[in-house]
Amino acid sequence: MKLFYAPGACSLAPHIVLRELGLPFELEAVDLKTKKTASGADFVASNPKGYVPALQLDGGEVLTEGVAIVQYLADKHGPGTLAPNAGTVERARLTADLNFLSSELHKAFGQLFNPALTSEAREAALANLGRKLDVMEQAFSDGRPYLAGPDFTVVDPYLFVILSWAPMMGIDLACWPLLGAFSERVGTRASVQASMEAEGLRKAA
């Protein structure tokens, strides 16, 4: 398999999942401005959507959309471990969490990456993001270590990656201490540290 990624982007989530599952894979960085891969290939030829992540399977088929990729990997290579089995209430809840992260929290952060935002628009975007973070903070109020409960699942790398964007946006997670603690906890996992090192996001030990 080959994962097309951009350092620190949401493609870091399936990267972490691949390492959690101990799967063999290649990495190929993508310049999201030029749409060229590190090998000089036209990324749009592999993924017409033009953004990461994209996972090329051994047979040549390419999967897109992070929430689809991580669920595929969990179901195919670690059924019942990183995601509850399909058809269960637990799986439906996990899917709901993935959808919330994708359509609400990720999108709310994404607005802040727009350099053309006026100060008023940025203020409104920050307020909207704060409301989404409040929802996530509340999810951890029962003391659970991970979003779906006691066990690490595919939803946790995605939340971790989104929260990692907070510092570059000038957002202090101290306002959401449970999320800050979650981020620190997930950041200590070997799969996370190895993925970040491979993407040049942390120095080798």
Q: Establish how many alpha carbons lie within 13 A of residue 101's alpha carbon, considering only the half-sphere containing its beta carbon.
A: 27
Amino acid at 112: L
> pLDDT (tens digit, 9 = 90+) per residue, 46-84?
999 999 999 999 999 999 999 999 999 999 999 999 999
Q: How confident is the model at residue 202 (pLDDT cuts 50, 70, 90)?
A: confident
Q: Establish how many alpha carbons lie within 13 A of residue 56's alpha carbon, considering only the half-sphere containing its beta carbon.
A: 13
Give the domains, in start order, of the chain with CATH numbers: 2-80+191-198 (3.40.30.10), 89-189 (1.20.1050.10)
Concatenating the DSSP letter of every residue in 152-168 gives --THHHHHHHHHHTTGG
25: which 2 tokens?
């894979």
> pLDDT (tens digit, 9 = 90+) per residue, 3-53?
999 999 999 999 999 999 999 999 999 999 999 999 999 999 999 999 999
Mean of pLDDT over the chain:
96
Global pTM exceeds 0.85: yes
Burial 93-113 (b: 16+ CB within 10 A, else e): ebbebbebbbebbbebbebbe
Q: How far is CA 133 from CA 125, 145, 177, in A?
A: 12, 17, 11
